[in-house]
A and B are shown apart, each in its own frame.
Chain A
Amino acid sequence: MSTSTVAQRVREFESKLPDKYSDNVAFLLVAPGLFFFSAFMFIPMGYLIMMSFTDAELSTVFQDAPGLWGSLFGTANFVGLENYTTLLADPLFWNSIGVTWLFVLTSVTLKVLLGLTVAVVLTHSLVRGKRFMRALVIIPLGLPAIFSITVWRNVFSSARFGLANQALTSLGFDQVAWLSNRWLAFLSYNITEMWLAYPFMVIITVSALQNVSDELHDAAKVDGAGFLARFWHVTLPSIKRPVMFAAILTAAASFQQFLIPFIFNRGGPARSNELIILFGYREAFSGRAYGEGAAIMLTAIFFIAIFMVVAVTKGKLAEGAHET
């Protein structure tokens, strides 16, 4: 028995089963895993979708009520698309969507530029101690995000001891109330997000840069291309795919950014910088309107899903995924 292969054991197992099961033995084998997967993924998702069609609140959803509906949603009522219509009519929601997309756009641009710059330096033949510096670069990735963000919160402190303000005053500028001005706060979010994500960008970009063919560079040199022309015509096209892939992944991270605005100034000043996840969190838990919160989250998922589909198909990132 000990030498029997998996296939043999499956066949033995199959032969002991009644006919109607033995046809579906593959399903039976994955069923336990599938059960846990669905228990933690599909059921909460389904519950969330259902909840977005109710007026569930803290005071209603946990009440005892008869029937299946009652045991799931308590005394909450089915309200159809009402949550969605109120949401779409809410200017705060549209502000949040707008500022979130703007944040994705600016922070991804900054992350890609910083990652690319650092990676080019860390792969350049004239730079000494590249391996050591590459190890240093990864450090931010090892720190808990909440820790880094709290430190950055104090860097951008409006008080005089804030590091950013100290830097400004030492350069002869006036100190600034970073987190009380909408666009300064937005800028501080971007800088922090850039710091959090650049190690990832650098790792991907460095490995992409190492794969750029020396011969292509030589060919371009012989044809008369200088450093910039070679960077544009040889390096960038060669690393485009992996960098784009990393950019899309990190765009999803930017889209879901919650901790930075939450810890910095609760998406302020005056809710003007509430990124979408923070907006949903506020509605659901501060307002205790679970139904509306669910609708917000589902709308957010809808937006990010569209973005992902467009990015992956337009960027041809799925190419080759269907090949066997």
Chain B
Amino acid sequence: MADVKLENIVKQYEDVTAVDDMNLDIKHGEFVTFVGPSGCGKSTTMETIAGLTKPTSGTVMIGERDVTDLPPKDRGISMVFQNIALFPHMDVYDNISFGLRLRKYDKSEIDRRVEKAAEVVQLNGMMERMPDEMSGGQRQRVAIARAIVRNPDVFLMDEPLANLDAKLRVHMRTELQRLHKELDTTIIYVTHDQAEAMTMSDRIAVINAGQLQQIDPPLVCYNEPANLFVAGFIGSPSMNFVEGEVAGSGFTSDDVKVSFNPSDYNLGRGKDVTLGVRPEDVYLANNSREAADPTVPLTATTDVLEPMGNEIFAYLTFDEDATSSMTDAQLPGQLLISVDPDTEIEEDQEIEVVLDRSKIHLFDTAGGKALTHEITDTGATSTAGADAEVGTDD
């Protein structure tokens, strides 16, 4: 069994803290993805697991062993790198068997294992090829074969698909999932691409500024983000945020008002909160039946349209009188929505939209922490008037 445990890992470079008190508990056989923007410390975290970087403090456990001070080769791990890192002067066979040859395995045992690994990644018959005679995808397969040939307990992958073209990347994504099923080992995967993280992982660890923000299954990260950062990072296009405050009747900002009973969520009046809603949870008012629990319509003006084929992304602004009333240099509030591709919609058109109350998130503006992931209608059903307070504010 190879559980991976990080306890209070800190990695400090001169004046930068790359990893800040990281605690992780990864179970045997799990596919866990570290995701976050560039420079967030996800690769450094992986390197401390691999043993390529020594943490400033903290403990790395693989299985039951404390491996913090062990070199990479004694940790029972193998790794696939972003730039593939095949030895350019060795053919496929020599690349795959490199680790086994260093460990002085029997020639027959090496042959058997290399053949098996090559079979898993479908590289049979290419043993004599040199890396520069292969395509990017084939090279990546060799790198994966090199990693699996040693039967590692833990498989580390540092952005292995980042250098492949888009089509191949999608293909390799499914290959990796198949591989995970076949091998039944722990896989830790680093990426900055949240789509990769969503599609492959059992759990996603969202990292920002060296700190773990949330570790949960992909859909939990998507539907119940722990804080503003996770909410904004997971999902493409990202969630809409509207800053406002808690009033007696619910959420209020310049452009958006949503009514609820603040005491249901332990919110004091005047607290600064940020409302978050995903583009697909905003509906055109004439389709408001599709929303599970629609708010009353907001009036807005379409700005830019992005037809994607299967949907249209529409950027809405709330200041329809922007041209006449822009005396104060205030940026108009903006909302991105996703609508059906056959909707008749034009740029600079005044439309009405509703939000799905059951999909509205509220965050503490100051700390970023999530306060709720849906707004339920306690009391609002009895007093229809309160519900009607949602609207634009000119």
Give B156's nearest chain A residue, CB to CB: A222
Chain-B contact segment, one of A8-16, A137-145, A198-206, A229-237: A229-237
Judging by beta carbons under 8 Å apart, are A221 and B72 in contact? yes
> Contact string, A215-243, partner B, CB cutoff 8 A, digits 1/0?
11011111111000100011001101000
B53 to chain A, nearest CB (A): 10
Q: What is the bound-complex CA distance between A104 and B99, given in angstroms? A: 38
Number of A-B contacts (CB under 8 A): 58
Knowing A216-B87, A233-B87, A237-B87 touch, does A224 contact B82 (C-beta < 8 A)? Answer: no
Residues of B within 8 A of A221 (CB): 51-52, 71-73
Number of interface residues of A (CB under 8 A): 17
Give the residues in chain B near A213, CB-CB below 8 Å: 83, 85
| Cβ of A284 to closest chain B Cβ, rounded Å | 47
Summarize B's interface: helix, strand, loop or mixed.
loop
Q: For the complex, what is the distance from the CA of A212 to the CA of B102, rounded to whole Å? A: 21
Are B72 and A234 in contact, with the CB atoms below 8 A? no
Residues of B within 8 A of A219 (CB): 79, 81, 85, 87, 146
State how many angstroms separate the Cβ of B232 from the closest Cβ of chain A: 31
Q: Which residues of A contact B45 (CB under 8 A)?
A: none
Complexed CA–CA distance, A112 and B81 (Å):
32
Q: Is the CB of A218 within 8 A of B87?
A: no
Question: Residues 38-82 of chain B: 1 if any A CB is under 8 Å from the residue's CB, otherwise 0?
Answer: 000000000000111000000000000000000111000111011
CB contacts (< 8 Å) of B82 on chain A: these are: 215
State whether A222 touches B83 (Cβ < 8 A): no
Partner of B99, one of A215, A223, A234, A240: A223
Interface string of B104-129 (1 = CB under 8 A from A): 00000000000000000000000000
Within 8 A of A (CB), among B137-180: 146, 150
CA distance A233 to B146 in the complex (A): 15
The answer on a CB contact under 8 Å between B85 and A237 is no
Q: Which residue of B lies closest to A224 (CB)?
A: B73
| A223 with B88, Cβ < 8 A, contacts A215-B81, A218-B52, A229-B102 known | no
Residues of B near A237 (CB, < 8 A) are: 87-89
User: Is B103 part of the contact surface with A, judged by Cβ < 8 Å?
Assistant: yes
Query: Closest B-chain residue to A225, C-beta based?
Result: B102
Decide: A233 and B71 in contact? CB cutoff 8 A. Answer: no
Residues on A with beta carbons closer than 8 Å to the beta carbon of B222: none
Known: A215-B81, A229-B102. A222 touches B52 (CB 8 A): yes
Knowing A218-B52, A237-B88, A237-B89, say if A223 contacts B83 (CB, 8 Å): no
Task: List residues of chain A with CB within 8 A of the CB of B313.
Answer: none
What residues of A have a CB within 8 angstroms of the CB of B78 in the complex? Answer: 222-223
Name the B residues within 8 Å of A216 (CB-CB): 85, 87
Name the one of B85, B88, B102, B146 contacting A218, with C-beta atoms under 8 angstroms: B85
> Given the complex of chains A and B, what is the CA–CA distance between A218 and B72 in angstroms?
9
Task: Determine the residue in chain B with the shortest Cβ distance to A238.
Answer: B88
In the complex the two chains form, what is the Cα distance from A218 to B118 in whole Å? 22
Chain B positions within 8 Å of A223 at CB level: 73, 78, 98-99, 102, 146, 150
* Docked-complex contact B72 and A222, CB < 8 angstroms: yes
Number of interface residues of B (CB under 8 A): 22
Closest B-chain residue to A233, C-beta based? B87
Chain B nearest CB from A317 CB (Å) reads 16
Chief secondary structure at chain A's binding surface: helix
Give A233-268 interface residues, CB cut-off 8 Å to B: 233-234, 237-238, 240
Asked if B98 contacts A233 (CB within 8 A), the reply is yes
Distance between Cα atoms of A213 and B89 in the complex (Å):
13
* Distance from A286 Cβ to chain B, minimum over Cβ atoms (Å): 50
A166-216 interface with B by 8 A CB criterion: 213, 215-216
Q: How far is the CB of A48 from chain B (nearest CB, A)?
A: 43
Q: Which of A216, A219, A229, A240 has the most CB of B within 10 A?
A: A219
Chain A residues contacting B51 (CB-CB under 8 Å) are: 221-222
A157 to B77, CA, bound (A): 60
Pick from B52, B87, B102: contact of A224, CB below 8 A: B102
Nearest CB in chain B: distance from A319 CB, A: 12
Q: Complex: how many Å from CA A213 to CA B51? A: 18
Please report the C-alpha to C-alpha distance between residue A223 and residue B98 in the assembled complex, in whole angstroms: 7
Contact B87 A234 (CB under 8 A): yes
B108 to chain A, nearest CB (A): 20
**Residues of A close to B72: CB separation below 8 A:** 221-222, 224
**What CA separation (Å) do A219 and B71 show in the bound complex?**
13
Minimum CB–CB distance for B98 against chain A, Å = 5
**Residue of A with least CB distance to B102:** A224
**Best-surrounded residue of A221, A223, A225, A233 (most CB of chain B within 10 A):** A223
Chain A residues whose CB sits within 8 angstroms of the CB of B52 once the complex forms? 218, 221-222
Q: A218 near B98 (CB under 8 angstroms)?
A: no
> How long is the Cα–Cα vector from A237 to B103 in the complex, in angstroms?
21
A237 to B102, CA, bound (A): 17
Across the two chains, which residue of chain B brings its CB closest to A234? B87
Alpha-carbon distance A213/B87, docked complex (angstroms) = 10
Known contacts A223-B99, A224-B73, A224-B102; A218/B79 CB under 8 A: yes
Cα A219 to Cα B131 in complex, Å, equals 15
**Which residues of chain B have C-beta atoms less than 8 A from A220's C-beta?**
87, 98
Closest chain A residue to B80 by CB distance?
A219
Please measure, in the bound complex, the distance between the C-alpha atom of A233 and the C-alpha atom of B87, giving whole angstroms.
8
Determine the distance from Cα of A294 to Cα of B339 in the docked complex, in whole angstroms. Answer: 89
Min CB–CB distance B87 → chain A (angstroms): 7
CA distance A24 to B102 in the complex (A): 65
Across the interface, name the chain A residue whose C-beta is closest to B99: A223
> Chain A residues with Cβ under 8 A from B85's Cβ?
213, 215-216, 218-219
**Known contacts A229-B102, A233-B98: A222-B79 contact under CB 8 Å:** yes
Contact among B77, B89, B103 with A222 in the assembled complex (CB-CB below 8 Å): B77
Query: Is the Cβ of B83 less than 8 Å from the Cβ of A224?
Result: no
Please report B residues at the A interface, Cβ cutoff 8 Å: 50-52, 71-73, 77-79, 81-83, 85, 87-89, 98-99, 102-103, 146, 150
19 A–B contact pairs at CB < 8 A?
A: A215-B85, A216-B85, A216-B87, A218-B85, A219-B81, A219-B87, A219-B146, A221-B51, A221-B73, A222-B50, A222-B52, A222-B79, A222-B99, A223-B146, A224-B99, A225-B102, A237-B87, A237-B89, A240-B89
Q: Which 6 A-B pairs have the closest CB atoms?
A: A224-B73, A223-B99, A219-B85, A237-B89, A215-B85, A222-B72
14 further A-B contacts with Cβ under 8 Å, apart from A215-B81, A233-B98, are A215-B82, A215-B83, A218-B79, A219-B79, A221-B51, A221-B52, A222-B50, A222-B72, A222-B78, A223-B73, A223-B102, A224-B103, A225-B73, A237-B87
